[in-house]
Amino acid sequence: MDYITLNDENRLPAFGLGTWGLRGESCADTVAKAIGLGYQLIDTARMYGNEKDVGRGIRLSKVRRERLFVTSKVCSPYTSYQAAKRIVEESLDALGLEYIDLYLIHEPYGTSPEMYEALKEAKKQGLIRSIGISNFNEAEYLDFIKGCGIIPAVNQVENHVYFLRSDLQKMMKAHGTVMQGWAPFTEGMRPVFKEKILKDIGKRHGKTAGQIALKYLLQNGVPTITKSSHVERLKENLDIFDFSLTAEEIKEIHGLDEGKSLFGWY
């Protein structure tokens, strides 16, 4: 596993499991199996309604807590300082953890600054290791950091071969924030597994189009999360650390960038 050092010196695994849409025993079982395969980063959120299931999966894995990196997020309607402070404690209780590695504001709100104050306090108390934001565009990010005090360690945003967001990544890096990607396979919005460029490059390396899509993001310094409940796909997604793309291959893939969101977040 590769790692990226955040602005607070904590290390973020370059690749992890997203749990959006997973519920109940299926969620717990998937989390446990993924950890058993070697996944270290597990991503959840209050919005997903599955923190208890994720926590159960972590316990089922029987892996030592310090080997894992767990992310969660606060969202509407918990958009005040007091509500955000309460939700951090509720997330800890639901997950059954003493601390959360990374806690994000799930999307921009008018009250994001006061929500962030609650996260800063939780970080100071040791309840959260790193804090950040999610789905903030360039203007929203720049406005937010003017008075945030602690620069967000991460901004988790939509990122895939059709929406590379290189300018956002470069700008945030200059301020000390890592761009982490979600939806590397576009959640079915584009036929990424059938993309000819990715399939052709994959043949050269003995990899699938999906593995090439993931490797491209990681090789360009974008840690990413993706979801699957199928063991074989979980294995396949993790098997991307034994090869590198050439400069020419990276240039080919870069040509797929359409420069626009597939989900309307931005």
Q: Is 48 a known active-site residue?
A: yes
Q: Give the H/E segment covering residue 122.
A: helix 112-124
SS3 content of the chain, % helix, strand, coil (to 5): 45, 20, 35
Half-sphere CA count of 44, side-chain side, radius 13 A: 28
Q: Give the Cα separation of 73 and 92 in Å (integer).
A: 11
Find the catalytic residue in 39, 48, 78, 162.
48
Q: Give the Cα separation of 107 and 182 in Å (integer).
A: 13
Nearest to 170, CA basis, from 149, 185, 155? 155
- Which conformational region is residue 136 in: left (phi greater than 0), alpha (psi within -120 to 50 degrees), or beta? beta
Q: How far is CA 36 from CA 77, 112, 213, in A?
A: 35, 36, 24
Q: Give the Cα separation of 8 and 249 in Å (integer).
A: 33
Q: Give the Cα separation of 120 and 128 in Å (integer).
A: 9
Q: Give the Cα separation of 115 and 203 in Å (integer).
A: 47
Residues noted as catalytic: 48
